[in-house]
């Protein structure tokens, strides 16, 4: 059974006919070509498919596309700057060597976008807990946590300058 949904993806309004059983990962990858959304475990345990829905991190493999009707979805493709430049979060991941094979990176970056969006200070243990839904087989998480600490601190410094 197909259903027409209206969803804003990376700031662009989309109208799609989707099977009511289709997961958001498949819609984003196969219909919209957003390949930053990875298919990993497909049961919500690895975090590779993480996207933001209305600003909240969600495993898109466990989220039906029909549930996104009327909502806003953000993927890594949507966080680049106006001239295509990398976001500060992506830059921190690169500069802190938090990327190796890169499979888990888009999901971690989207979780980082949510974390930064809270405008709160987190210690390393809190950040470790916040990324606990992500599996990374390459980095051992230390450089990922370094990048997370850095972007939280940089964001708070920017917020203080604005106030």
Is 28 contained in some domain? yes
Nearest residue to 57 (alpha-carbon basis) of 114, 129, 123, 141: 114
Annotate 118-142 with DSSP letters as a single string: TT----HHHHHHHTTT---SSS-SH
pLDDT of residue 67: 98
Q: Which of 75, 100, 127 is the last residue of a domain?
A: 75
Residue 36: its pLDDT value, please?
A: 97
- Please write the tens of the pLDDT for every residue from 92-137: 999 999 998 999 999 999 999 999 999 999 999 999 999 999 999 8
Domain that holds residue 26: 2-75
Q: What's the pTM value of the predicted model, to 2 decimals? A: 0.95
156 in the same domain as 113: yes
Q: What angle do CA 10, 45, 141 make, to 5 degrees?
A: 85
103: CATH: 1.10.150.120
Q: How many domains does the chain have?
A: 2
- Which one, of 106, 120, 128, lies nearest residue 47 by Cα? 106
Are residues 71 and 98 located together in one domain of the fold? no
Is the pLDDT reported for residue 88 higher than 90? yes
Express each pLDDT in 40-58 by its tens digit: 999 999 999 999 999 999 9
């Amino acid at each position: 059974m197909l259903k027409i949904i209206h969803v804003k993806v990376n700031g662009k309004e989309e109208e799609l006919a989707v099977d009511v059983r289709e997961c958001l990962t498949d819609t984003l990858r196969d219909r919209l070509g957003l390949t930053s959304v990875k298919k990993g475990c497909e049961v919500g345990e690895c975090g590779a498919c993480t996207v933001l829905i209305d600003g909240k991190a969600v495993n898109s493999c466990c989220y039906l596309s029909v549930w996104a009707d009327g909502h806003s979805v953000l993927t890594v493709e949507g966080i680049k700057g106006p001239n295509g430049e990398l976001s500060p979060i992506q830059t921190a991941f690169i500069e802190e060597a938090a990327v190796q094979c890169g499979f888990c990176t888009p999901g971690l970056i989207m979780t980082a976008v949510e974390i930064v969006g809270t405008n709160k200070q987190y210690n390393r243990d809190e950040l470790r807990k916040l990324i606990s839904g992500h599996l990374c087989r390459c980095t051992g998480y230390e450089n990922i946590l370094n990048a997370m600490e850095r972007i939280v601190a940089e964001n708070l410094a920017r917020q203080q300058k604005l106030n």
